[in-house]
Amino acid sequence: MGTRERLLLLVVLGVAPALVTLATFALSFQRAEQVRFCADCHTMTPWVNDLHNPNSKSLAAMHFSNRWILNDQCYTCHADYGFLGPITTKLGSLRHVAIYYSGIGMPKQIQLRKPFPNSNCLQCHGPAANFKSNPAHAAVMKPLLANQLSCVTCHQPIHTPTG
């Protein structure tokens, strides 16, 4: 095997796969933020039906139908914020996909892996004037910010899965 042949093989077997991997990583992770991607798993169908239902009074559906969140509505609420938030969210989602297809560790009923962090709501609502000036919020601001009292304690229903 000559040096030229070796270099050509390095491009085909090393450089090209590395470039394809990087590009597919970026592309697929970006696409995985879309509601369409979440809806691909049949387990999520009732939740997505609720999201798309204009008559639903759930928080998720109202955020969707009133365009309070413009795009990637599932991801916007369910992705943790902060430096490592998007990475841990995407790794957690990969874990979900692996469990879904392997069936190993599949829960009988869908539930959140950890309590919903208030920071996910406050990312948008926190700086809003109507949030800050609301006396009900002012009274519980400290436990809200410390994540000791969940936003969803008062704001219900979050999802009303149907179908």
Partner 1 sequence: MPNLITVALITVGLGFLLAVPCIVETTPITMCLFFFLSIPLFALGFLSYVAAVILDLRQHQVL
Nearest residue to 152 via CA among 113, 122, 110, 109 = 122
The residue among 18 and 145 lying less far from partner 1, judged by its C-beta, is: 18
Q: Is 95 in the site for partner 1 (CB under 8 A)?
A: no
* Binding flags for partner 1, 47-86, as an x/- string (CB under 8 A): ----------------------------------------
Choice from 62, 64, 70, 100 touching partner 1 (CB under 8 A): 100
User: For residues 50-85, b (16+ Cβ closer than 10 Å) or e, as one string?
Assistant: bbebeebebbbbebbeeeeeeebbbbbbbbbeeeee
- Measure the CA–CA gap between 100 and 125, rounded to whole angstroms: 33
**82 Rama sector, left if φ>0, alpha if ψ -120 to 50, beta otherwise:** left
* Binding flags for partner 1, 16-35, as an x/- string (CB under 8 A): xxx-xx-xx--xx--xx---
The residue among 33 and 50 lying less far from partner 1, judged by its C-beta, is: 33
The residue among 21 and 134 lying less far from partner 1, judged by its C-beta, is: 21
Q: Are residues 161 and 62 in contact, defined by beta-carbon separation less than 8 angstroms?
A: no
Residues found near partner 1 in the complex (CB under 8 A):
1, 6, 9-10, 12-14, 16-18, 20-21, 23-24, 27-28, 31-32, 37, 40-41, 94, 97-98, 100-101
